[in-house]
Amino acid sequence: MVDIYVGQENTHWVLHEKLLCYRSRFFRNIFYNKEGSKNHVYGLPDDDDEPFRLFVGWLYSDAIPHPKEEKDLSPLFDLYLMAEKWEIKKLILDVLDAVRRWYHDTNTWPGLRRVQYIYSNTELESPMRQLLVQCVARMLVVGDKGIPSHWENALRKNGQLAVDIIMTVQKWHVDPEGVPDARDEPVEPIVEEAEQKVEERKDREDDADEGANQMKTNGVDHEEENGEQEEEEEEEES
């Protein structure tokens, strides 16, 4: 048996050494060093208890609980990061499939916050990155509501995410006949769309300026009211 201490609270877990080392090359290197001596204690201060609890459950049952709510995906994503760090291919596959099934069964798409979290904690070749970006690419391309503003802002700031989406779309090998060719179309619609975007941007800027001026006006009025109230109080005292 080996002793694992997890998180800032040093939650203590006692696990079967052979099973743990069989599943993970990372732990084999920890508990069996090159000199042949054995270590039976290891700490994981930067990991959280909940995803590690899921890991222990998977270690002994070879199963991952299906998330019931979107918030249940949080420990699953952390479990996935553990699987990558500890080089456990079977766990990587199982978590990927659990996440895939969740979005499939709920007919939803990965949110921006989830995608940003994975991009911040994985490398370019990460399978979870690939799964999420493939989902997002379909959502953005075939969606009938256009690109949501928060996604538009994120794509402007995160060039790698934008490139990954384009590369994903390229892999679809879309029928060219189904894709508009700007070389064959009149240019007037392009100009009209550009003008419309300019007008929309100006409207947003005007609304923002109006809101800022209103806040300033309210602040001045509030100060004047306070000043008048103070003068009245001084007159009453005198």
Per-range mean pLDDT, top range of 131-135, 140-144, 148-152, 205-209: 131-135
One domain for residues 179 and 94 = no
Residue pair 59/44 in contact (Cβ under 8 Å)? The answer is no
Q: How far is CA 4 from CA 14, 56, 92, in A?
A: 6, 11, 21
One domain for residues 104 and 160 = no
Q: Which has more confidence, 219 or 185?
A: 185
DSSP annotation of 32 reads B
Instruction: Determine the Cα–Cα distance for residues 99 and 93; give it in Å rounded to an integer.
Output: 10
DSSP string, 68-88: SSGGGHHHHHHHHHHHHHTT-
One domain for residues 83 and 121 = no
Per the domain annotation, does 11 fall within a domain? Answer: yes
Residue pair 114/77 in contact (Cβ under 8 Å)? The answer is yes
Show the domain range for 164.
Answer: 109-201
Q: Per residue in 181-209, pLDDT tens?
A: 888 889 898 899 899 989 988 888 888 88
Last residue of a domain, one of 87, 108, 129: 108
Last residue of a domain, one of 108, 140, 158: 108
One domain for residues 122 and 102 = no
One domain for residues 72 and 156 = no
Q: Which residue has the tokens 């300033």?
A: 216
Q: What secondary structure, in 3-state letters, does 166-191 show?
A: HHHHHHCCCCHHHCCCHHHCCCHHHH
Last residue of a domain, one of 89, 108, 127: 108
Instruction: Determine the Cα–Cα distance for residues 189 and 186; give it in Å rounded to an integer.
Output: 7
Per the domain annotation, does 131 fall within a domain? Answer: yes
DSSP annotation of 196 reads H
Per the domain annotation, does 149 fall within a domain? Answer: yes
Q: What is the domain-level CATH number for residue 69?
A: 3.30.710.10
Instruction: Count structural domains, the chain.
Output: 2
Tell me the mean pLDDT in the region 17-21: 91
